[in-house]
Chains A and B, each alone.
Chain A
């Protein structure tokens, strides 16, 4: 589960991390009042208007309807309405929205933190995430803030540093100091950075996050260290401990079919191919997608129906799959172990009959317990369903129906 910038920042603040303050609005009418409130709280007279969507690259991205960028500066309260109007309700396309613009339902009106002062501002990169190989959390940081970190990693890997956290004791003072020194800081900014690092790690750890990325971390002209952005991904398995953060889920950011599948307890990912699949087990489901590709098609989805592939679940899965008009065939691939294949076959036949008709050919491959009986059930059903036993046979049938 991903969070919006404004949500991530509110969590950071609750753990004592200094942030670029802001007020989120979902109506243009509220924008001026929000800006006034922000000025009262922070003294800012310029404002940054930031589109809230679950994708990066907003500053360089463009709102399709207005041509505005996704992050813009308003140099005074008189510009607020115009700037918010250019973003809110529009569709924002960025390098990270996979070629499809995302609707902006909320904007964050944030204080201007790049004000002039006694020293130059500088931007850093910092994130906390799991290092899978070491089985430990790691703080990744760099002096090259404010830009695409993957680009930095590729061209100047020596500018990216890592600090691993020992789970038995958590983050230690010497580690925070090392990070602040490596970022070239001294004096008050150094002190602020050590506090920032510890608070950021504690936020990550405290909310069961899978990733917490701050880009940029800003040293202001008056030597404060603040989070100007926040990208947060939660560990889905840890959410049961945090109903307050679970409530931050924004379903409008997700594919509606995926939301529906999720509510039906189906593990479903929408893809853009022409052959749908329905499989038991995640590994076999991925392998089935690969088989579809090798047979000349493209997978329309990932779908793990789990261990109980009964008529009700199969019917729900059919409904979800058939919402996609690009689907030209459906491949059902079940390896029956504990689940009996004949029961699954009966489920498919019943679901088919309940739905009246299904406009595309179905290939059912059932292997394992009672596979022979299952094949007979399918073959004798009189429905537009092809049966297969071996995985290769299923692949060949996909090729046949696509030809």
Chain B
């Protein structure tokens, strides 16, 4: 078991022949991900990385039976790519693209509600199920196979957490990078819920940051539904109010947006919160009673 993607996932790459798409599709194939093809409008009928290229996602789905798509399309066209994937029947849509206008995402999010699909991202590192499928841009070797699930808004901080988990003698089931934009397809709570229901996952690491209330919503859900321990960290305790810290969504507007407020709510809901990002792995080992 695992969540969202596994060795049976049939993955296509939107923006397949571009430089980002080419590089990361290559890395995904090397990891062992079942990449069945890609889409670049106008290049249908050709081959790229020994896989077929299609003009439309619909063509790719009809021919290959693809059920997962990863998007490396530039920001101006990315919302369109998300809607195309949903319309063609893709079940898990992972959008890596950073810099999509909020207005476009409002429309894309509304549009895909009419389809049986799940969007991960945008502005995210993707998803990895250790040892089975990497549908993202993360370094695969960091994610040792094990029993810990990760939900995170940040890329490199996810790698950091996975590395600490391995050094503490554990490993990863699935890591889900939900993205750092103001509007994202899968929320912290939804991603945590997926891992909470995954029988293989024994502990969950939830990494958030300043801005919005996704962590507070997840924390309240965890309080009522936790079947396994959750370790949490919120980045940006030292971030000033009113400034965007790299991620478009990482901005403190009101008092509830601060790292302090989020951590307080998470603690009240029974989450094992660490103040130092260096203690994520050790805290999980401690909670599960594992000695490295």
Contact = CB atoms under 8 A, between A and B. Distances in A.
Interface of A: 130, 132-133, 135-137, 150, 167-168, 205, 208, 210, 235-238, 240-241, 267, 269, 271, 273, 279-294, 298-299, 302, 304, 335-338, 367-369, 390-392, 395
Contact of A293 (B102, B138, B237, B245): B237
B156 A335 contact: yes
B159 A337 contact: yes
A286 B210 contact: yes
Interface stretch (B59-67, B103-111, B219-227): B103-111
A205 B247 contact: no
Contacts of B158: 283
8 contacts: A130-B106, A237-B99, A285-B246, A286-B245, A287-B277, A302-B239, A368-B159, A390-B167
A256 B178 CA distance: 33
B41 interface: no
Contacts of B259: 290
Contacts of B275: 290, 294
A269 B251 CA distance: 12
A205 B167 CA distance: 49
Interface in B230-282: 233, 235-240, 243-250, 254, 259, 275-279
A56 to B, nearest CB: 11
B18 interface: no
A282 B247 CA distance: 6
Nearest to A289: B238
B101 A282 contact: no
B137 interface: yes
A281 B101 contact: no
A395 B279 CA distance: 11
Contact of B278 (A235, A282, A291, A369): A291
A187 to B, nearest CB: 35
A310 to B, nearest CB: 17
Interface in B14-57: 27
Interface stretch (B86-94, B147-155, B197-205): B147-155
B276 A368 contact: no
Given A132-B212, A286-B210, A304-B246, A281 B236 contact: no
Main secondary structure of the interface of A (DSSP, over half): mixed
B102 A235 contact: yes
Which among A137, A210, A279, A369 has the highest number of chain B CB atoms within 10 Å? Answer: A210
Given A280-B156, A391-B277, 13 more contacts: A130-B106, A133-B213, A136-B106, A137-B106, A269-B245, A283-B154, A284-B160, A290-B236, A290-B238, A290-B276, A291-B277, A368-B159, A391-B164
Contacts of A136: 106
Nearest to B216: A133
Contacts of B180: 282-283
B106 A284 contact: no
A133 B212 contact: yes
Contacts of A286: 209-210, 235-236, 238-239, 245-246, 250
Given A167-B110, A294-B276, A390-B278, A237 B154 contact: no
Contact of B139 (A137, A281, A337): A337
B278 A391 contact: yes
Interface string B68-107: 0000000110000000000000000000000111110111
Contact of A391 (B106, B160, B248): B160
A23 B291 CA distance: 71
Contact of B101 (A238, A269, A335, A369): A238
B142 interface: yes
Contact of A368 (B105, B137, B142, B217): B142
Nearest to A369: B139
B103 A208 contact: yes
A279 B160 CA distance: 12
A150 B255 CA distance: 11
B235 A283 contact: yes
Nearest to A281: B156
A191 to B, nearest CB: 29
A273 B240 CA distance: 12
A70 B248 CA distance: 32
Nearest to B158: A283
A205 B157 CA distance: 34
A290 B110 contact: no
A366 B170 CA distance: 22
Contacts of B137: 337-338
Which among A210, A286, A368 has the highest number of chain B CB atoms within 10 Å? Answer: A286
A290 B237 contact: yes
A394 to B, nearest CB: 8
A282 B245 contact: yes
A292 B278 CA distance: 12
B233 to A, nearest CB: 7
B215 interface: no
Interface in B165-196: 167, 180, 182-183
B163 interface: yes
Contacts of A299: 238
A308 B223 CA distance: 41
